[in-house]
Structure 1
Amino acid sequence: MGKVFSHMTMSLDGFVANPDDEVGELFEWYEGGEVTVPNPNETVSFRVDDAGAQALRELTENCGALVAGRRLFDIAHGWGGTHPAGAPVVVVTHRAPEDAATAWPTTTFVDGVAAAVARAREIAGGRDVTIASAAITQQALDLGLVDEVCVSIVPVLFGEGIPYFAALARGHQLLEDPFVIQGRRALHLRYPVRR
C-alpha cells in the first residue's frame, strides 16, 4: 500500500506564500540547475540540480493521486487540467465548480479531508498520495492520515504569509529523524510521522 505524503516548498521562516498568495523566490529551485525532470504539463518545466531531481523523482514517480484544497486549485487554475506530478487530483471543497465534469475530467471534488484522502487512495491503487496544500496537510495530520511530512526549504525569509504549519487541533506532532537531500536553492527534508 502506498504512503500519504505532504509536500510544500517553504521559506526558512515557515511560509508557503506571502500574504497575497505569491510564492516569490520559493520556486526558484525548480529552475536552478541543468537536469530536466519531465512532467506531463507542457506549461511547467523543471530544470533542477541533481539533488533536486532526486527529490522530485522521489515525490512524483510513485504518485498515484494528489490532494489539494480548493483555494490552491483556483490559484493554479486547476493546473490546466494536468498537474505536474502527472497524477489525478482530488480537491477538498464544499462546492465543486459547475463545469467540473467537462472542464476538469481528471479532477475529483470531495467534501472533507478524510473523504478526500480516502478517495485519493482509491484512485492511487497501491501508489502514493501526495497532499499539496498547507491547510489540508494540517487537517490530515490532525486526523492521523499523513505518513511523511516533506518540505523543500528555500533560503529566504518572508517575515509573514501563509504558514505550512499552524496550530494543530491535536497539539504537537512528533516526527522521526529526516531523510535529507541538500540541493541548490533548496534543502529537501522528508520526516516520517511518528505513530
Structure 2
Amino acid sequence: MGKVTTGASMSIDGYIAGPGESGFDLLFQWYNNGDVEVPTAMPGLTMRTSAVSAGHLKRLFERTGALLVGRHLYDFTNAWGGRHPMDVTTVVLTHRPPEDRPLADENFVFVTEGIEAAVARAKEIAGDLDVGVNGGQMARQCLDAGLLDEIHVDLVPVLLGAGTPFFDGLAGGPVRLEGPVEIVPGDAVTHLRYLVR
C-alpha cells in the first residue's frame, strides 16, 4: 500500500498562492526555467526544468497512482482540460458533483461522503502507489484526520507577503514533522520532503 502525500510550491513566507489567487507565475516559475523537457498528459503542456528538478518530478510522477483535490481546484483549472497533467485518476471531494459528468470514469471520481471516504477511494485507485493530495484545504483535512504520511515542499525564493498558507487553521496544531528526509536543490527551488509523525 502506498503513502498519502501532499506537496505544493510554496513561498519562503509559507504561501501557496498570493492575495486573490495571485503569484502563481512566481511560485511555478521553476517548472519552466531549464532545458530538460518533462512531458505531461495535458496537450500543449510540457515543462522545461533543470535536470535536478526533472529527476525529482519524474520520481514523483512514477510513484503517484491517484490524486485527491477539492472542487475549487477542479473548477479553477477547468478540470485540466479533461485529464490531470500527471496522467492519473483524480478524486474530487465535493458537496456538489457536476451535473454534466459521470460520478466516476478513468479521469475523475467524485466523492461526497467526506475526507476519509475520498482518501479510501483514492487509495483503492492507486493500489500500491501513492495518493497525492492537493495542498491547502485538502491537505489540512487529511492532516487533521490523521491520514497524511508525507509533506513535500517545493520552496521557492520569493516572499508573497500574504495569501493562502499551505496549511491554514489546523485543528490539532502544532504538528511536528520528521526531517527533512530529502533535500533536492533545484534551480530557483529547493525540493523538501518531511514525514508526518
Tell me whether the two structures share a fold, i.e. TM-score over 0.5: yes
Do structure 1's residue 187 and structure 2's residue 183 form an aligned pair? no
- 1:24 Cα deviation from its structure 2 partner: 2.8
User: Per residue, is there more strand in 1 or in 2?
Assistant: 2
RMSD between aligned alpha carbons?
1.6
Matches for 1:26-175 after TM superposition, within 5 Å: 26-101=27-102, 106-111=107-112, 112-175=114-177
> Unpaired runs of 5+ in structure 1?
none
TM-score normalized by structure 2?
0.93
Paired residues of 2:32 and 2:49 also in contact (CA < 8 A): yes
Paired residues of 2:64 and 2:132 also in contact (CA < 8 A): yes
TM-score normalized by structure 1?
0.94
Residue identity opposite 1:138 in structure 2: R
Residue by residue over 1:100-134, the C-alpha shift from the partner in whole angstroms, topping out at 9 and shown as x without a partner, is 22997510111211111110000111111101231
Paired residues of 1:81 and 1:105 also in contact (CA < 8 A): no
Paired residues of 1:6 and 1:130 also in contact (CA < 8 A): yes
Percent of matched pairs sharing the same residue: 45
Moved over 3 A (4+): 102-105
Cα distance in 1 for partners of 2:96, 2:141 equals 18
> Unpaired runs of 5+ in structure 2?
none
Task: Tell me the number of residue pairs that the alignment of Structure 1 and Structure 2 aligns.
Answer: 194
Which stretch shifts more, 132-141 or 105-114? 105-114
Residue by residue over 1:130-174, the C-alpha shift from the partner in whole angstroms, topping out at 9 and shown as x without a partner, is 012311001101111111100101111110111111221012111
Cα distance in 1 for partners of 2:172, 2:104 equals 37
